[in-house]
Amino acid sequence: MSNRTNVGGWLKGKTVRKGGITSSNGHTARSSTPQVQSTSSTVFSGGVKDASGRTTEYFSMDDQCPVCKSDRYLNPKLRLLVSSCYHKMCESCIDRLFTLGPAPCPICQKVLRKLAFTPQTFEDLTVEKEVAVRRRIAKEFNKRREDFPDLHTYNDYLEEVEDITFNLINDIDVPQTEARIAAHRTENAVLIELNLQREEQYAHALREQEELERQEKEQRALELRREVEIEREERETSQREIIDRLETSTKDAAKVIAKSRAEAMKRSSARTTTSTVLRSSAQLLRARAAQSTVIPDPPHIPLQDNWDSYEDLYTLKDQYDDMYSDAVRKDREGIMRAGGYRVEEAWDRALRCAVAGLDLPPLPGLNPSPERTDVAMASV
Amino acid sequence: MAADSAANVVDAQVNSSIGKISLYEGSTQYKSWRYSPEQLERIRISLNVAAVAAIRNTFEADEPGSSSNVLFLGAGEEQLLVKLYITKIPQLCGHFRFPEEVEATAISYLKRFYLKNTVMDWHPKNVMLTTLFLATKTTNNPISLESYTSNIPKTSSSDVLDLEFLVSQSLNFELAVWHAHRALWGIWLDLQSLPDVTEDLRPQDIYDIAIKHVRASRFTDAELIYTPSQIALASLALASPLLAQRWADSKAPPGSIQPLSETMEPTLGAIKYIITQMGHPPDVEAVREVDRRLKLCKNPEKVPGSKAYLARQAEEQRRAEEKRHKKAEDVRRAITESNPFGNELNDDEKATQLAELDDDD
Amino acid sequence: MDAVEKANAERQKRWVKDRKVGEGTYAVVYQGREASTGRKVAIKKIKVGQFKDGLDMSAIREVKYLRELHHQNIIELLDVFSSKTNLNLVLEFLDSDLEMIIQDRSLVFLPADIKAWMAMTLRGLEFCHRNFMLHRDLKPNNLLIASDGQLKIADFGLARDFADPGHKMTCQVITRWYRPPELLFGCRYYSSAVDIWSVGCIFAELMLRTPYLPGESDMDQLKTIFRALGTPTEEDWPGHTKLPDYVPVGQFPRTPLRDLFTAASGDTLNLLSRFLVYEPRKRISVRDALNHAYFFALPHPSHPSKLPKPATQTSRPLEELDGNVEMAGAGPGVKANAPNKLKRKLTSPDGTELRPLARRLDFTQLAKHS
């Protein structure tokens, strides 16, 4: 999994991705100076590594290696890396000092290994250190407000965390602080693990969402292009229509054009409405697809109730000899016809009345059913 | 024989609608306003007895010993009075030219009202006017109160409006009524589907006679015992037994042993009896006598202006005042004692208080 | 009298009012529950004695019809109780309605969803028509949605029985945008086809996400209809020029529905066009609509539990203390009050876990609406 960083690339400030390829400029295998591998498999607890690989390495024309005093002018390929004790030095020095094994840091004498160096992210090394500390603490102390019974205890916890962080950043009472961290870890192992998982999911979901958004953007662009096309066509046809209408109609020309414009507006506004609906359907479809496997959609059943409306007890005819609806059927003006009055509906209702309850026996004697409180309450 | 026919009828019911409930059986008319003759009698008697006892107490409270001379009405006499006012409804409807639907509905409402109330509390005159007014609304033939009362002599708006809510309440707000006259119309139409019934077999005058019987049935208890279709069929049977029989037989479910006209004979016979024997207006003199006695024994609590009425009102007002006081007290306490900031826990309490405040019951 | 009151008091005890959720011109709506089971209900308290003609007709109609109709797709009246001056209707509690769902732009409709809603609406309407009842006020606002996704027709304030022959009916019914042309032309003898036209408009609105025929006045409504569907000829609609309020409105050509409903299938367009036929007698009946190929074609109608729903409204407590919040619409709609439109930023498409996981600082709502 070797990674060849493109030196020319990062001079220009291009992105260096973890384990990845520089975004442009392709690969140029520069083999002269040995490269430090900056993959996430590096066991290193200092420095700041950006997981998404989007931040660029810190870079300045004034960079100078404190050990060998070389600078960019003399050595264009100069690259400064940071140690776990937060001291900078150039790659050649690192190579010189540590290739044969662990050695003390030239500045602070702390014993270091060659692997213990990372590229710098921040201009200010103190910031780099702080960020690194905070990142580490955040992993260890990841409780949330919900994990506490009340606001007070939550605030106490936060204060404790801040205290620890401060100590570590400023190298105060480091062993005791480390002990406190260890103690916390053992006490809350389960909860920490849980929260870790939750964050993991969150990050994962975030990635998915971004992916979806990107897809949607693409789709939208496509749609837009199509719409523009349609609009153009429509405009052409409406132009032709206007000309036709102007030729054939006797109305005022301005009015005809205004009418056509209004129609075109209506069409386009309706179109935009429909297209907004289509836009995020991709996202929902995915969620729905997941749901469908759990609850299936049953096929359509026209009527689902249990009511018997006596339909098998009579047949409705189209025509009846009926004195009540004479007027309706003779209706010369067609008022009732145009309005849609259906005398058949009145007949249907009468026929239903005629058969409803025909076979229901009357209540016998004095024994009421329990719901009939009125009868039950009557006592002599 | 009767048991057999009853069993057959039940079978028919089960076979024709397995697992389904018929629409009529889902109606409030079927569920709440259906009685046997025995039940009707018992209800009326018990209502009457309870009313007499209550009114007697009111008399006694007002003036001890005054009630011993009073001749209270019996249940039968109450019915007589109600029946008279039932007969007035068709007259009014003719005057206003209300459709038959309105007339039939109003009559039903009046009958049902007096299954929950006594005439000694509420005289049928205004109740009748109110039921008719209500019926115009519930059947979608509304008329303005103004034009209603101005067309009825000696009637004010309050005569009608004051009782409207009471009537609706007594009906339990069950306002949809199925009627026999529509069923008769349906039978008449359906006869035209029978191959063996030719046009000469169904002249118009048979229908006219049958509808007269339906109208007569409205003066009886028939609709409280039987279904509208049964009443219609019985009415037709009185006008033309042949047509009724032919039609009924055509409705028998397939595979039944007896023709439907036979199985239904007991039911139809009973209805025919009711219509012919009790389907005419009561003797006016007898009613007048009852009305006279009613003046002396009616419930003073219901008569505006009487001592008992005012006493009752005062009592009710006192109770309402008490309730209002209590609420005001609660509210005051809530406002002064509550913590303006940390009230999360008391949200429910406060909410109920707010809700109760709106209740102007 | 006392017996009646006593019975009422008994019934009243069954139901507990929790808090007010809306107020209209003649009714106040409370959210409540059944005392014994805790089941959520809406209690509509109608003030009586306010009108010069006594009990209000809308209240009467609601009570009358809801008492008799019991169907899965019609709002259920659980109980009625009354005190001296109030009529209380206990209805099932429904939090949202179709209008809210259509206007909530964060929800996306699948064709299967639209099919499901249409099927439920038609079933409820079919039951009304089967009971010889016209609803006469169908619109998305009156189609309420239960928590399990079932659609229920509500607001029977304008309903009535089908007319006996020769009986005139009023033509001033149905909200303008959903009103069929025969009513706009003042017809007094109509039939169940008027409800079908409304259903057609709702169908179109479900697809367009905006009202299909929004006219600004009765005259403008006619124009809007004709512009969309073409002016009817005597052949299309015999006798329409003889209707009481007929006026010529302009000659517009008929544009094919496909031009506007670009995403719709052939079955969909066919059904929609059958809903919006000019001649009322030729308009599809509700039963035929339920048996139309559109419903049997794939995709199947979505299962009600999967239908999109607006996000839960955490803005409730604010509105509670607000007191007299105006109810949407003049009539007795019984859903919980529609949330203040300004508060509608709280959303997350139902079912997806992605959105809520966004940044800890809650700028998501703003970002989402860009």
| Binding residue numbers of C for ATP | 21-29, 44-45
| Residues A157 and A114 grouped into a single domain | no
Residues A181-197: tens digit of each pLDDT: 888 888 888 888 888 88
- Report helix angle B37-62 to C2-13, nearest 10: 110
Which homologous superfamily is C96-306 in?
Transferase(Phosphotransferase) domain 1 (1.10.510.10)
Find the distance separating the first CA and the last CA of chain B, reported in whole Å: 56
Judged by CB atoms closer than 8 Å, whether chains meet at A314 and B116 is answered as: no
- Per-residue confidence (pLDDT) for residue B98, from 0 to 100: 94
CA–CA distance from A195 to each of A137, A186, C280 (Å)?
14, 15, 64
Instruction: Kindly state the average pLDDT of the residues A243-258.
Output: 72
Residue B360 lies inside a defined structural domain of this protein: no
Could you tell me if C283 and C196 are in contact, meaning their C-beta atoms sit under 8 angstroms apart? yes
In terms of DSSP H, where are the helices of B298-341? 307-337
- Name the residue among B23, B145, B173 with its Cβ closest to that of C80: B173
CA–CA dist C101, B41 (Å, integer) = 56
Judged by CB atoms closer than 8 Å, whether chains meet at A308 and B17 is answered as: yes
Instruction: Kindly state the average pLDDT of the residues B313-334.
Output: 83
Instruction: Kindly state the average pLDDT of the residues C24-51.
Output: 84
Residue A112 lies inside a defined structural domain of this protein: yes
CA–CA dist A224, A312 (Å, integer) = 57
Residue A167 lies inside a defined structural domain of this protein: yes
Judged by CB atoms closer than 8 Å, whether chains meet at B165 and C53 is answered as: no
Rg (CA), chain C: 22
- Enter the tokens of residue A224: 């837009």
CA–CA dist A355, A352 (Å, integer) = 5
- Per-residue confidence (pLDDT) for residue A129, from 0 to 100: 86
Residues A55-72: tens digit of each pLDDT: 667 777 777 888 888 777
| Residues A96 and A160 grouped into a single domain | no
Listed range (A336-350, B36-50, B231-245, B296-310) with the worst mean pLDDT: B296-310
| Residues B68 and B139 grouped into a single domain | yes
| Residues B146 and B52 grouped into a single domain | yes
Residues B197-206: tens digit of each pLDDT: 888 888 999 9
Judged by CB atoms closer than 8 Å, whether chains meet at B229 and A317 is answered as: no
Judged by CB atoms closer than 8 Å, whether chains meet at C110 and A297 is answered as: no
CA–CA dist C108, C118 (Å, integer) = 16
Domain that holds residue A183: 124-218
Q: Which of C191, C170, C206 lies closest to C285 in space, CA to CA?
A: C191
Burial of B318 (0-12, 13-18, 19+ CB in 10 A): exposed
Listed range (A90-94, C267-271, C331-335) with the worst mean pLDDT: C331-335
To which H or E segment does residue A156 belong?
A: helix A151-169
The CATH number of the domain where A85 resides is what? 3.30.40.10
Chain A residues in contact with C8 by the CB 8 A cut-off are: none
Listed range (B1-10, B166-175, C273-282) with the worst mean pLDDT: B1-10
Mean pLDDT of chain A: 74
CA–CA dist B5, B259 (Å, integer) = 11
* CB-based contact, A337 to chain C, within 8 Å: yes
CA–CA distance from C40 to each of A299, B12, C94 (Å)?
31, 40, 9
CA–CA dist A65, A89 (Å, integer) = 5
> What's the gap in Å between the CA of C187 and the closest CA on chain A?
6
Residue B66 has pLDDT above 80, yes or no: no
| Residues B205 and B70 grouped into a single domain | no
Domain boundary pick from A162, A184, A218: A218
Chain C residues in contact with B359 by the CB 8 A cut-off are: 17, 45
Domain that holds residue B265: 4-22+178-252+261-278
Q: What are the residue ranges spanned by the domains of chain C?
A: 96-306
Could you report the predicted ipTM of this complex, rounded to two decimals?
0.82
Judged by CB atoms closer than 8 Å, whether chains meet at C20 and B358 is answered as: yes
Q: Which residue of chain B comes nearest to C5, CA vs CA?
A: B169
- Enter the tokens of residue A333: 């003006």
Chain B residues in contact with A379 by the CB 8 A cut-off are: 46
Reported as a pLDDT band with limits 50, 70 and 90, residue C179 is very high
- Enter the tokens of residue C302: 């979505």
Residue A166 lies inside a defined structural domain of this protein: yes
Q: What angle do CA B35, B37, B43 make, to 5 degrees?
A: 70
Chain B residues in contact with C18 by the CB 8 A cut-off are: 351-352, 355
- Per-residue confidence (pLDDT) for residue C125, from 0 to 100: 96
| Binding residue numbers of C | 21-29, 44-45
* CB-based contact, B176 to chain C, within 8 Å: yes
- Name the residue among A307, A351, A359 with its Cβ closest to that of B190: A351
Domain boundary pick from A218, A236, A267: A218
* CB-based contact, C283 to chain A, within 8 Å: yes
On the CB side of C17, CA atoms within 13 Å amount to 24
Judged by CB atoms closer than 8 Å, whether chains meet at B354 and C87 is answered as: no
Is C137 considered catalytic here? yes
Residue A276 has pLDDT above 90, yes or no: no
Residue B82 lies inside a defined structural domain of this protein: yes
Listed range (A96-110, B346-360, C261-275, C315-329) with the worst mean pLDDT: C315-329
Residue B307 has pLDDT above 70, yes or no: yes
Residue A209 lies inside a defined structural domain of this protein: yes
* CB-based contact, B169 to chain C, within 8 Å: yes
Interface with chain C: mutation pick from A341, A345, A351, highest number of C CBs within 10 Å? A341
User: Touching C: which chains, 3+ CB pairs < 8 A?
Assistant: A, B
Residue with the bigger pLDDT between C204 and C346: it is C204
Reported as a pLDDT band with limits 50, 70 and 90, residue C7 is confident
Residues B138-166: tens digit of each pLDDT: 999 999 999 999 999 999 988 898 899 89
> What's the gap in Å between the CA of B116 and the closest CA on chain C?
7
| CA–centroid distance for A262 within its chain | 39
B17: left (phi over 0), alpha (psi -120 to 50) or beta: beta
Residue with the bigger pLDDT between A379 and C10: it is C10
**Residues 315-334, chain A, touching B (beta carbon < 8 A):** 315, 317, 320-324
CA–CA dist B166, C55 (Å, integer) = 11
* CB-based contact, A375 to chain B, within 8 Å: yes
Strands B21-22 and A307-308: parallel
| Residues B81 and B193 grouped into a single domain | no
Residues B330-341: tens digit of each pLDDT: 878 877 766 555
Residue A44 has pLDDT above 90, yes or no: no
Annotated catalytic residue: which of C97, C104, C113, C137?
A: C137
- Per-residue confidence (pLDDT) for residue C360, from 0 to 100: 42
Interface with chain B: mutation pick from C64, C170, C172, highest number of B CBs within 10 Å? C64
Instruction: Kindly state the average pLDDT of the residues B171-186.
Output: 95
> What's the gap in Å between the CA of A14 and the closest CA on chain C?
28
Listed range (A101-105, A296-300, C274-278, C355-359) with the worst mean pLDDT: C355-359
* CB-based contact, B138 to chain C, within 8 Å: yes
Listed range (A30-34, A304-308, B350-354) with the worst mean pLDDT: A30-34
CA–CA dist B38, B31 (Å, integer) = 18
The CATH number of the domain where B224 resides is what? 1.10.472.10
Listed range (B8-12, C118-122, C237-241, C265-269) with the worst mean pLDDT: B8-12
* Whole-structure pTM value: 0.68
| Residues A155 and A185 grouped into a single domain | yes
* CB-based contact, C301 to chain A, within 8 Å: yes
- What is the b/e burial string over B275-300, where b = at least 16 CB atoms within 10 angstroms of the residue's CB? beeebeebeeeebeebbeebeebbbb
Chain C residues in contact with B101 by the CB 8 A cut-off are: 164
* CB-based contact, B164 to chain C, within 8 Å: yes
Reported as a pLDDT band with limits 50, 70 and 90, residue A86 is confident
As a whole-number percent, the residues of chain A with pLDDT over 70 amount to 71
Q: What's the total number of domains in chain B? A: 3
| Residues B194 and B148 grouped into a single domain | no
Reported as a pLDDT band with limits 50, 70 and 90, residue B95 is very high
Domain boundary pick from A96, A123, A150: A123
- Enter the tokens of residue A206: 């975030």
- Per-residue confidence (pLDDT) for residue A370, from 0 to 100: 65
List, as one string, the DSSP characters of B86-147: HHHHHHHHHHHT--HHHHHHHHHHHHHHTTTS-TTTS-HHHHHHHHHHHHHHHTT----HHH
- Name the residue among B10, B42, B185 with its Cβ closest to that of A366: B42
Chain A residues in contact with C109 by the CB 8 A cut-off are: 277
CA–CA dist A335, C244 (Å, integer) = 8
Residues in chain C: 370
CA–CA dist C155, C138 (Å, integer) = 9
CA–CA dist A267, A275 (Å, integer) = 12
Residue B79 has pLDDT above 90, yes or no: yes
Q: Which of A125, A269, A336 lies closest to C163 in space, CA to CA?
A: A336
CA–CA distance from A22 to each of A6, A17, A80, A345, A350 (Å)?
7, 6, 19, 78, 85
| Residues A79 and A132 grouped into a single domain | no
Residue A231 has pLDDT above 60, yes or no: yes
Could you tell me if B143 and B160 are in contact, meaning their C-beta atoms sit under 8 angstroms apart? no
Residue B214 has pLDDT above 60, yes or no: yes
As a whole-number percent, the residues of chain B with pLDDT over 70 amount to 88
Residues 6+ apart with CB under 8 A from A47: A82, A84, A118, A119, A120, A121, A128, A132
| Residues B185 and B131 grouped into a single domain | no
Mean pLDDT of chain C: 82
**Residues 11-70, chain C, touching A (beta carbon < 8 A):** none
Chain A residues in contact with C71 by the CB 8 A cut-off are: 305, 307
- Per-residue confidence (pLDDT) for residue B277, from 0 to 100: 93
